[in-house]
Amino acid sequence: MSLSTTDVRLVPLPQSQDVLTDVLRQGAQQLLAQAIEAEVADWIDQHRHCLDGHGRRQVVRNGHLPERTITTGVGPVEVKQPRVHDRRPPGERAPFASALLPPYLRKTTSVEELIPWLYLKGVSTGDFSEALAALLGPGAKGLSATTVTRLKGLCEKEYQDWSTRPLAGKHYVYVWADGVYFNIRLEGGRQCILVLLGATADGRKELLAIQDGQRESEQSWKELLLAAQARGLTLDPKLAIGDGALGFWKAVRQVWPEVRAQRCWVHKTANVLDKLPKSVQPKAKDLLHGIYLAPSRAAAEKAFDLFVRTYEAKYPKATECLAKDRQELLTFYDFPAEHWRHLRTTNAIESVFATVRLRTDRTKGTGTRVACLTMVFKLMESASRRWRALNGSPLLAEVIGGVVFVNGIKQEDAA
């Protein structure tokens, strides 16, 4: 395959870069060019049967997308991805979305992250050497199957050590919870990974626990929370944020009975819109935004009532879905306004797994449950290095101290 059809070129580096770095960058250049070209060609070939009345193909290549720079572990690489033009009627189109080069990607993962990515994509240990050599170039050393197997074993031990680490003295003021599903290629079925993220008293986000469970059942979540307590987590959070999975909330009420609940607005919005016809969804989405973006609880309550009155006659299932969690959806108004953007959703977890879901949905899944847990841990660990502290972190001390907030403002200030 010619590399000229996909324009991938290297950005000049300072003279201080050594020869090995240049070799590695050339390897990355070749792999990226070949992989993107093959992905686009395969997509077009899959739609070769889509013809117009004159027998002409409806899904074709059409030049390139604007050039962008991808920062790799061995330097920046300029990429021009082929553009796919779908000339079918709007309702029949299926837009091409590259799994290798998502629109938002500006930086590739490091080699440390590349191992779990390949494993999540179902690449066998014996094929790692070839895959890594293609990415890093012929000058890369130490990429044998034995080396990769040893590295995988170290990752698994690292996860086991992390999952049993002591939590004595830790205080997570807020916690976010979500369940993420993966296909297990060698053991069959789908595996649910339960993820708990916490915000410490100084505003840092930390990965608290990762554990697989029987779907998102009450028992599975209860086991995770009790295990955290057994490892020394004796101080209960002030607020838990999660979706509508009943198992989590039932478990929370048993283990942390005083913790307040905040339902995720992203999940709730998706669930409500799913019960409305597509023609109504844009307007309904704007009305939902008007609820949780309102500056005060009173304004949110008014917007809430407006949504219910607007749709309850024709679409009672949508309004019932929203109304049943009314109080839990508005809990964030009793916490500092600086924290609202963090408390309204579980995006802190969802954003990490967006690309993981995209990749695993296109493959047969991971090999075993242990491998899945380990690789999810490594990817979350990598993402955590880029997490930023909560806005208004100093206010967490007042939340811990029991200061009352009204519409996001301390009561004494509101008065």
> Under a CB-based contact definition with an 8 Å cutoff, are residues 313 and 387 in contact?
no
Is the pLDDT score of 373 beyond 90?
no
Mean pLDDT, rounded, of the chain: 79
Taking only the tens place, the pLDDT of each residue in 244-289 is 888 899 999 999 999 999 999 999 999 999 999 999 999 999 999 9
The encoded tokens of residue 179 equal: 């369940």
351: phi then psi, degrees, rounded to nearest 5 = -65, -35
Name the DSSP letter for residue 12.
P
Query: According to the model, what pLDDT value does residue 135 have?
Result: 54
With a cut of 60, say whether residue 9 has pLDDT above it: no
Higher-pLDDT residue of 264 and 20 is 264
- Model confidence at 322: pLDDT above 80: yes
Residue 180 pLDDT class (50, 70, 90 cuts) = confident
Q: What is the DSSP letter of 366?
A: B
Whole-number Cα distances in Å, 12 to 15, 21, 30 = 9, 12, 16
Element (H, E) at 172: strand 172-183
pTM of the prediction? 0.68
Q: Which residues pair with 189 in a beta bridge?
A: none
Considering the chain, what percentage of its residues have pLDDT values greater than 70? 70
Nearest partner of 250 among 226, 283, 222, judged by Cα: 222
What pLDDT is attached to residue 140?
44
In tens, the pLDDT along 69-115 reads 766 555 566 677 788 888 888 878 877 777 666 665 555 555 555 66
Residue 58 CB burial class (10 angstroms; 0-12, 13-18, ≥19): middle
Whether the pLDDT of residue 51 is over 70: the answer is: yes
| 31 in Cβ contact with 130 (< 8 Å) | no
